[in-house]
Amino acid sequence: MTPPKLIILTLDGLATSGLSCYGCSWNDTPTLELMAGEGCVWDRWIAHSNRTEELTRSWWQSESAWTNTWRQHGSLELITDATRINETNAAVFDQISMVNHLDDSDTPAIDIESTRLGRVVAAAIERCHQDDLWSTLWLHSDFLSQHWDAPRELIAVDFADDDEMQEPVEDTGMDIEIGPTEPRLPDFFDGVAPPQIKRSDADDPDLVMSWMRTYACQMRLIDELIAVLQQTLVTYSPTLVVASTGGFSLGQNGWIARDAGPLRSCHIRLPLIVNRGGPLRHPGVTSTAELPLLLARLAATDQPVVSVDQWCRSEDELSPCVTTQDNQRVIARTSPHWFLVDDEASPSLFLKPDDVDDVNDIHRLRPDVVQQLTG
């Protein structure tokens, strides 16, 4: 019997808002769409910490259900481009491979292979073809929070037809005076530095859309590289897990940034997709702290990824409740019907799952809910 193989791709800055399988209407990610359609998707996977380092530390504990289970089938290895990875916290891995940044450019890459994430995927493919027995490859990248180097052709194709369809202006032979016009923002931006922008009333109305398209370009890079990974490793039939260690705000909280401004769902409601066990969407509130248990279950290929009991688990308005911490201080609470930003001076309460982007703060209308969640 062929030993099971597990590949995990975690991305810091990966938000549900840019993925079509999470309802995004302004971007197309067909590989992830297909993966979600055939596998399992967690609709409300909530971060138990707003710090990437704390999430990975909890997942990479030296003794856990998933590490003990998967090590029976071969080595556990980490391939990453994240310089902030604490090797002490990642000591569970038998081997850690760092993808250097020496080839980084201050302009977008010319092809997907030259990107920072492309080099991580290439290193994973090279490792797979070596003779040493491995069971788990964990790929972790922070390019979404550090270096937006996706080739802009991935998004420029959306505007090529628009340029071709523009009708030529007829020359009437008359001199027509045209007054000065406001400079138009580009459809997307060419810089590689991720935005850190606080919105203001003076901003161009198209500013957010231009940054959304630039972010969409990075999503398409991820989508294409996952397709490459799947096609190259098809003979291994690996279980593939795609997840995030922190979201990204595209204006939902008044900022366009990875980690700035007031905490909102865009920061802690994270994507989690597994390529088998479906088609199934898990609607329940689930903590990221449960990922090790899921990874342990994935070693048993004859077992469901999500059990019937889990999928049918009864929920009420306030339970289960996932708490999100920052340095051991609770900063948010998420239940089936509510999302509370736990600020004593000025709490914010949003109705879930209807208020996806946290538009209507109703904490003054429902002080009873605030009290129940914090009591």
Query: Domain tally for the chain?
Result: 2
Judge if 302 and 321 occupy the same domain: no
Judge if 19 and 148 occupy the same domain: yes
Mean pLDDT across the stretch 60-80?
91
Q: What is the CATH number of the domain that holds 302?
A: 3.40.720.10
With respect to residue 175, please indicate whether it lies within any of the assigned structural domains.
no
Q: What is the CATH number of the domain that holds 371?
A: 3.30.1120
Judge if 323 and 275 occupy the same domain: no
Judge if 283 and 323 occupy the same domain: no
Q: pTM of whole model > 0.85?
A: yes
Dist CA 236 CA 231 (whole Å): 10
Which of these three, 266, 291, 312, is where a domain ends? 312
Judge if 237 and 212 occupy the same domain: yes
How far from each other are the two terminal CA atoms of the chain, in whole angstroms?
Answer: 52
With respect to residue 177, please indicate whether it lies within any of the assigned structural domains.
no
pLDDT tens digits for range 162-182: 544 455 555 555 555 555 556
- pLDDT for the residue 182: 64
With respect to residue 172, please indicate whether it lies within any of the assigned structural domains.
no
Which of these three, 312, 337, 366, is where a domain ends? 312
List, as one string, the DSSP characters of 323-352.
EEEETTEEEEEE-SSEEEE--SSS-EEEET
Judge if 295 and 262 occupy the same domain: yes
Dist CA 71 CA 138 (whole Å): 13
Judge if 291 and 239 occupy the same domain: yes
List, as one string, the DSSP characters of 241-278.
EEEEEE--EESTTSEEESS-SS--HHHHEE-EEESSS-
Mean pLDDT across the stretch 306-332?
88
Mean pLDDT across the stretch 20-44?
96
pLDDT tens digits for range 228-256: 999 999 989 999 999 999 999 999 999 99
- pLDDT for the residue 183: 67
Residue 101 banded pLDDT, cuts 50, 70, 90: confident
Judge if 285 and 328 occupy the same domain: no
Q: Which of 256, 155, 253 is nearest to 204 (CA)?
A: 256
Which of these three, 264, 290, 312, is where a domain ends? 312
- pLDDT for the residue 163: 47
With respect to residue 180, please indicate whether it lies within any of the assigned structural domains.
no
Mean pLDDT across the stretch 322-336?
94
Q: Is the pLDDT of residue 127 over 60?
A: yes
Write down the mean pLDDT value for the chain. 91
Judge if 80 and 59 occupy the same domain: yes
Burial 204-220 (b: 16+ CB within 10 A, else e): eeebbbbbbbbbbbbbb
Judge if 138 and 213 occupy the same domain: yes
Judge if 231 and 95 occupy the same domain: yes
Q: Which of 312, 325, 317 is nearest to 349 (CA)?
A: 317
Percentage of the residues of the chain whose pLDDT score is greater than 90: 76
Judge if 303 and 333 occupy the same domain: no
Judge contact between 298 and 277, C-beta under 8 A: no
With respect to residue 226, please indicate whether it lies within any of the assigned structural domains.
yes
Q: Which domain holds residue 320?
A: 314-375
- pLDDT for the residue 84: 83
Mean pLDDT across the stretch 178-201?
84
With respect to residue 80, please indicate whether it lies within any of the assigned structural domains.
yes
With respect to residue 15, please indicate whether it lies within any of the assigned structural domains.
yes
With respect to residue 170, please indicate whether it lies within any of the assigned structural domains.
no
Contact partners, residue 236, CB within 8 Å, separation at least 6: 5, 128
